[in-house]
Amino acid sequence: MTLLPCSLALLLPLLSLLLRLLVVSLQWRTSSPAIIMSLKNHHSTHHSRSPTLRANQTTCPIFSGAWVRDDSLPLYQYTCPFIDPEYNCQMYGRPDSGYLKYRWKPLNCQLPRFNGVEFLERMRGKSVMFVGDSLGKNQWESLVCLIYADAPQTSAQMDRGDPLSTLKFLDYGVTISFYKARYLVDIDVVQGRRVLQLDDISGNSNAWREVDVLSFNTGHWWSHTGSLQEWDVMESGGTYYQDMDRGVAMERALRTWAKWIDANVDRTRTSLFFLAISPTHYNPAEWSAGATAITTTKNCYGETVPMSGTAYPGEYLEQMRVIDEVLKDMHNPPYLLDITMLSALRKDGHPSIYSGELSQQQRAHPDRYADCSHWCLPGLPDTWNQLFYTALFY
């Protein structure tokens, strides 16, 4: 046996230890993201919450996914006292209920389940306001029903008005409001004519100056004509217009809104959202291969299941391009609640003829009167609010 010098014999164990530490270090560098993710997942599981990061910071695209069956839904019933007749499909005779049993599942993560008590606790003493058209109202009524179902014993006070309606959860000091402003900008009456002020939002903005969480939407009313439009003339840059390209008008109004938001909303105290365009389903050719105007009634009547897959074959909405362009140019843009694609897959979710706004005679003619624009409650807007809840708190 060869004998090593004493100093070398003492060094060998130390060299061996250093080599082992180097190997461990290299393994840690290689696997540390997975280890960190495992720790995050363990932390998330411990608290029964996922995803673990705020929705606008995580790499998980929560608006990309598919609809999956979930028999634990809906989270509240059509007897919720805050649902308007126009959205209350079960109350007004819709015979199927399968459309209530679908949950949105993002491709790479799980959404936290909506918790109304947690919402009230986190928002204690604060205010939430939805500003826009009837799709914003659709979402507002969904949210208050979701909360009320989880906290039925709390005192609530509803004050319905025009343009402002507010539900107060008195035990928590939380107010959740809807403010009707279909074009966001002001409409003034000048010499008996209703003037859509594309450059002015000073009147409407007074309603939301001190609100803690703001969610805006606009879109559908920009395409209305005749008796459905709320204005007689438009004004922009000191010039009056009988009409103009509606996409141009919408963009001018949105830039007025964006300029006001950038100048007046303190983002350190106010959370800001914008609801993307909610799609309609009046043309079955968009989702049914071979459907034609001759063989298919042009509405959503009789649709009972969502589309499968993760993409909608219809065309990209021009109004979304306008919204994207305006938000991109803002200094402090809102969080875009990008519900367009996931909602497009839900051709089954509209009131159709089961709206309390329709007479029996109108219901007999779905080709003329079916509502394929708004959404049943309970229904799709509950998912919008689950995504809103995720973005707000996680």
Domain residues of the chain, as ranges?
74-95+115-393
Contact status, residue 141 vs residue 160, Cβ threshold 8 Å: no
Q: State phi, psi for 288 to the nearest 5 degrees.
A: -120, 110
Only one residue has tokens 């079916």, namely: 370
Does the pLDDT value for residue 16 go beyond 60?
no
Distances (CA, A) of 95 to 80, 269, 282: 19, 45, 20
- The rounded distance, in Å, linking the Cα atoms of 311 and 321 is 18
Least confident residue range of 1-5, 77-81, 215-219: 1-5
More confident residue, 356 or 290: 356
- The rounded distance, in Å, linking the Cα atoms of 327 and 273 is 11
Binned at pLDDT 50, 70 and 90, residue 155 comes out as very high
Contact status, residue 222 vs residue 164, Cβ threshold 8 Å: no
Angle at 145 between CA 142 and CA 147, to 5 degrees: 110
Mean pLDDT, range 72-86, rounded to an integer: 98
- The rounded distance, in Å, linking the Cα atoms of 362 and 367 is 10
The domain 74-95+115-393: what is its CATH number? 3.40.50.1110
DSSP secondary structure code for residue 208 in this structure:
T
- The rounded distance, in Å, linking the Cα atoms of 353 and 363 is 5
Distances (CA, A) of 216 to 30, 222, 232, 346, 350: 44, 15, 24, 22, 21
First to last CA, the chain: 66
- The rounded distance, in Å, linking the Cα atoms of 360 and 92 is 11
pTM to 2 decimal places: 0.84
Ramachandran class of 133: left when φ > 0, alpha when ψ lies in -120 to 50, beta otherwise: beta
- Catalytic positions, written as ranges: 134, 371, 374
- The rounded distance, in Å, linking the Cα atoms of 394 and 199 is 36
Does the pLDDT value for residue 22 go beyond 80?
no
Residue 288: predicted pLDDT = 76
Residue 287: predicted pLDDT = 83
Mean pLDDT, range 306-327, rounded to an integer: 85
Contact status, residue 112 vs residue 50, Cβ threshold 8 Å: yes
**Cβ count near 334 (within 10 Å):** 20
b/e per residue, 235-268, with b = 16+ CB within 10 A?
Answer: bbeeeeeeeeebeebbbbbbbbbbbbbeeebeee
| Tokens encoding 117 | 């008590």
- The rounded distance, in Å, linking the Cα atoms of 194 and 17 is 84
